[in-house]
Structure formats: structure tokens, C-alpha cells
A and B are shown apart, each in its own frame.
Chain A
Amino acid sequence: ETGVTQTPRHLVMGMTNKKSLKCEQHLGHNAMYWYKQSAKKPLELMFVYSLEERVENNSVPSRFSPECPNSSHLFLHLHTLQPEDSALYLCASSQGRMAQTRTGELFFGEGSRLTVL
């Protein structure tokens, strides 16, 4: 248990569907992240929110739309996805400024496995 919870754990959707992934952290962190991990590829950083403001958007297609309503919750809204978007989507959180130890440690959820048909 990392303190970061993702739902759903598994999602199958058609290319015309609209769905959302949800992430919740119970750690009091003020930065939250979405990563994508495709088969046999490194983790790709998609979006970063710091203090509820989006601070990183790494050339992610507009069919992925993040939302961070507060520092504990992060959503990834999905619409008109492609089969190549099938992947494990990981949410993470971190403490903003340095703590005394473990600078910037990322706490990951268990991921949402997305399959686009």
C-alpha cells in the first residue's frame, strides 16, 4: 500500500467511448503525475500537476485530458482513443519541496491497465 489509489484497475473501451481514470493520494503531497507505460517501453511522463496547476505536458495528444480538482485527486479523461493507446497508466505523487530525506520521492499507484479495441 503506497498511499496512492488508482481506479479502475482494468478498463476495456472502444475507440468511440469516453472514460476516465481516477487517482487519489492520501499522503498530503502537492504534486501529482500521470505516466504511460506501453509494453517493453520505458515509462513516459505525460502530465505533472504541482499545487493543482499543470506544469508539464509532454506532447500528449489531446484525446488525453487531465484534471486536478484538488491536491488529492487527479483524473485522466479519455476520448476517441486509438489501439496504440493501450498501456498501463500510472499515477504518482510526491512532496513538493525537499523534505529532510528522500528528496522528491515518487509514490506510485498500482496502475490502470487500459485496452482500446
Chain B
Amino acid sequence: GIQVEQSPPDLILQEGANSTLRCNFSDSVNNLQWFHQNPWGQLINLFYIPSGTKQNGRLSATTVATERYSLLYISSSQTTDSGVYFCPAFHHGSGNTGKLIFGQGTTLQVKP
């Protein structure tokens, strides 16, 4: 099946630093999303980004669907950015079904 590789697996930053998280896919995907999982387990929507670039405050994301990767940029990180980041997507060959494929996530810790 399709593989989602997220890098780095773990990241420790000092508050105020910038970072880039990356997702690579082994096959064509559709309708990629970025989520932040908070300490209580809920997945918070960051971006719905099938292609192109979007920005929301200190966060921005870029998906290059033809090259099968996506990037999440976090600028001026804050302690509240800590948590796990996921970039699931739908496999291009799965039709219209709602099966998201997840990677193992990037665990971010922002220190004060």
C-alpha cells in the first residue's frame, strides 16, 4: 500500500525558532491535509491543501502533488505549537472513499 514518510520524526526547538516539516508519499495522493494533534488527542485542522501554497498566521504549507510531497512551515514557534503533526491524504486510486493514509507523524517540542 501507499507509504507516508514524515520527517523529522522528532524535533526540539527553542521558542521563537522556525522549522520545516516534510511529508513524502510513495504514490499519487489527493486532498492532503495537515493536522496538529493536541495533548488530549484531538486532531486539529491546520490546512486542506491538495496543491499550491496556503498561509495562516505563523503557519504555511506547500504541496507539490506532481512530486508527491508537502511541507509545513512554522515560524516564530510557541510552546503551544508542541504536539504531533500529521499530513494524511487520500490515495489517488481509492476512488471517493474516505480512507485517509497517515504517516507516523512529527513530534514537536517547543521549549520556553
Are A and B part of the same complex?
no
